Amino acid sequence: MNYAQLFSAYQEELELVGEDAENLTYVFREMKNWSLLDFILHQNQEISKEDEKLAIKIFRELKAHRSPQYITGKAYFRDLTLAVDERVLIPRPETEELVDLILSENGEAPISLLDIGTGSGVIAISLKKERPQWCITASDISPQAIDLARENAAFHTVDIQFIQSDVFSQIPDTFDVIVSNPPYISYRDKDEVGQNVLASEPHLALFANENGFAIYRKIIEQAREHLTPKGKLYFEIGYKQGEGLLHLLTQYFPEKRYRVIKDSFGKDRMVVMDNV
């Protein structure tokens, strides 16, 4: 059997269970460190026993709805490669837009910034790489996530303070900017989530009570004590949550300005609270 025949057969089976067939090729190439050209050039060759075993192993994990990035152990975000596993969510492209927004609106001068719910450390590390003069703290309720985020920060040689904390419970300081991409999916919206996400990504980092608003509310209720007088809040949100989050903010910060910002797909994706 050649490579083309084997991959065609397994990709058909993946489609039958609702998985993206192209993930088999993606993971295989990542594991082999092959370019797309390498893969194409092998198509009509007899598949080696070693590669057949690898393809079968990958197929079985994908069929069990394991996310491809967990199989490879890495995810790409902007120009970074990050270690990921089942301790943390896989970074999403939409979050790149949040990082870009923060960088564009906060200049080069030194500021203090807190990233709540850091997960793999993706937001904090991306910002610190671009703005080494910023003083960045990153927190997460999960000690396992903090461990992985520290590993990623060490790999990228950035100096970030990591704290295990349930929102502000272990954080006494004030900050010029607080950013959070918290769990925001409502439990009643589970049917909108992909099978591999439900099966393998940590539910603690995906779902929140109060129709997805629980962590936002917790942050907003306590944020005044942790923001400098001109401090700003940046949130990533679910596409249905913009109006509800603005309502929360106006209750606790009536003097501030609020913006809902759409992502590149035209969906509400970020909320910013800053000064008029």
- For the chain, the three-class secondary structure string (H helix, E strand, C coil) is CEHHHHHHHHHHHHHHCCCCCHHHHHHHHHHHCCCHHHHHHHCCCECCHHHHHHHHHHHHHHHCCCCHHHHHCEEEECCEEEECCCCCCCCCHHHHHHHHHHHHHCCCCCCEEEEECCCCCHHHHHHHHHCCCCEEEEEECCHHHHHHHHHHHHHCCCCCEEEECCCCCCCCCCEEEEEECCCCEEHHHHHHCCHHHHHHCCHHHCEECHHHCHHHHHHHHHHHHHEEEEEEEEEECCCCCHHHHHHHHHHHCCCCEEEEEECCCCCEEEEEEECC
Q: 229 pLDDT exceeds 90?
A: yes
What does the pLDDT read at residue 191? 57
**28-58 pLDDT per residue, tens:** 999 999 999 999 999 999 999 999 999 999 9
Give the pair of three-digit tokens for residue 178.
């607080």
Q: Give the chain's radius of gyration (CA, Å).
A: 21
Structural domain 85-274, CATH architecture: 3-Layer(aba) Sandwich (3.40)
Taking alpha carbons only, the member of 13, 227, 200, 215 closest to residue 117 is 215
**65-114 pLDDT per residue, tens:** 999 999 999 999 999 999 999 889 889 899 999 999 999 999 999 999 99
**110-159 pLDDT per residue, tens:** 999 999 999 999 999 999 999 999 999 999 999 999 999 999 999 999 99
Is the pTM of the predicted complex or chain greater than 0.85? Answer: yes
User: For a pLDDT cut of 70, what percent of the chain falls above it?
Assistant: 89
What does the pLDDT read at residue 215? 86
Give the pair of three-digit tokens for residue 113.
């910034």
- Taking all residues of the chain, what is their mean pLDDT, rounded to a whole number? 89
Cα–Cα distance between 43 and 39 in angstroms, integer?
7
What does the pLDDT read at residue 101? 96
Q: 24 pLDDT exceeds 80?
A: yes
What does the pLDDT read at residue 240? 83
Cα–Cα distance between 175 and 75 in angstroms, integer?
29
